[in-house]
Amino acid sequence: MIEPHIVIVAFPSAQILDVTGPLEVFSTASRMLPEPRYRTEVVSAHGGPVLSTSGLEFGSTPIADVRGEIDTLVVSGGRDMDAAIADEHLVHHVRLLGERARRITSVCSGAFLLAATGLLDGRRATTHWAECAMLARDFPRVAVETDAIYVRDGNLWTSAGVTAGIDLALALVSEDRGRRAAAAVARQLVVYLRRSGGQRQFSAALAAQSEEHEPVREVLEWLTANLAADLSIPALAMRANLSERQFSRVFKAAVGVTPAEQVEALRIDAACGLLETTSRTTEQIAAACGFGVPETMHRAFRRRLRTTPGQHRQHFGSG
């Protein structure tokens, strides 16, 4: 039985988790699941040791030496992406590998390297939330999606920042071997098979942690523990001791979304957690998360996640 050949492309100052995250998923799948096992290979422009952003060095083989059929190409991201894109030898061989591969994927800023090859032209893609605007600006032929952990467009898969490479690799295993097999790998690695929500929620939460405007930071910290409270703009502005107009302006500048969007994102995230881990009814969950009634929660799920609470529980619940 032919072993699927996974080729992971790295370069100096690569993000170590962009490489080792997918690598560990495929390695764990090979140990746990019946054959065929995945055959993994880490390559760089000229081979040899690669120094990652964390200072950890790992080995690689020359990208030009890759032989045989390629099942999946994984392009990692990293700090010195400008230098990687300027490396004509690397870009040329990534393009050649992409043309040979059954599947083409990237992790985090690896989407920039893929875009430089032209392989993303006319395709939907994503990258780290902080770099989506830059990707859209530098490569206008790419349809950039800003609120996704990973995006699939045919045989092309791109993922968001750093740990999203694990989400991506699990999705690839699920496509190859079925959801139950991928879930077994996820359990072994002690990670979710699929995270709920999109990266906009994560970027907003990260922004909240670093917010220097004290009243807004206090409101953000209070929100999560009080989702069933009155979270209207007047109520939140009063808590921040700001006018409604000033609060809305300062909040969006800090978090990147409006107060209403942040509240809905937090409520959906909390509802997803309860749907996945408890047997509470949708009525109970809607009330606990501040939606009030199931119909409001249902509309929010449809709008944000393109699914329903019931479907989410069916797909991601603990059973």
Q: What is the CA radius of gyration of the chain?
A: 21
298 and 247 assigned to the same domain: yes
Number of structural domains found in the chain: 2
280 and 171 assigned to the same domain: no
- Write down the pLDDT at residue 319: 54
Position 171 in a domain = yes
**Count of alpha carbons within 13 Å of 238, Cβ hemisphere only?**
6
Q: Flag residues of the chain having pLDDT under 50.
A: 201, 204, 211
Peptide linkage before 36 cis (omega within 30 of 0):
yes
- Write down the pLDDT at residue 318: 57
Q: Which of 121, 156, 189 delimits the end of a domain?
A: 189
- Sequence-ordered list of residues with C-beta below 8 angstroms from that of 143, at least 6 positions apart, any chain: 122, 123, 124, 125
30 and 108 assigned to the same domain: yes
How buried is 116 (Cβ within 10 angstroms: 0-12 exposed, 13-18 middle, 19+ buried)? buried
For residue 106, the enclosing domain spans 5-189
Q: Measure Cα distances from 105 to 11, 73, 274 in Å.
A: 16, 6, 32
Position 270 in a domain = yes
208 and 126 assigned to the same domain: no
Position 312 in a domain = yes
Q: Which of 161, 189, 217 delimits the end of a domain?
A: 189
**Count of alpha carbons within 13 Å of 210, Cβ hemisphere only?**
9
CATH label of the domain that carries residue 237: 1.10.10.60
CATH label of the domain that carries residue 143: 3.40.50.880
208 and 182 assigned to the same domain: no
41 and 101 assigned to the same domain: yes
- Cβ–Cβ under 8 Å, residues 104 and 119: yes
- Write down the pLDDT at residue 236: 94
101 and 177 assigned to the same domain: yes
67 and 158 assigned to the same domain: yes
Residues with catalytic roles: 108
291 and 262 assigned to the same domain: yes
Position 194 in a domain = no
27 and 118 assigned to the same domain: yes
The two three-digit tokens of residue 214, written as one number = 């004290």
The two three-digit tokens of residue 30, written as one number = 């090979």
Whole-prediction pTM: 0.69
- Write down the pLDDT at residue 311: 85
Position 100 in a domain = yes
In 142-213, which residue ranges form alpha helices assigned H by DSSP? 164-177, 179-189, 199-210
38 and 184 assigned to the same domain: yes
137 and 233 assigned to the same domain: no
DSSP annotation of 232 reads S
Q: Which of 189, 222, 247 delimits the end of a domain?
A: 189
- Write down the pLDDT at residue 313: 84
Strand ranges in 78-188 using DSSP code E only, listed in sequence order: 101-106, 124-125, 143-144, 150-153, 156-159
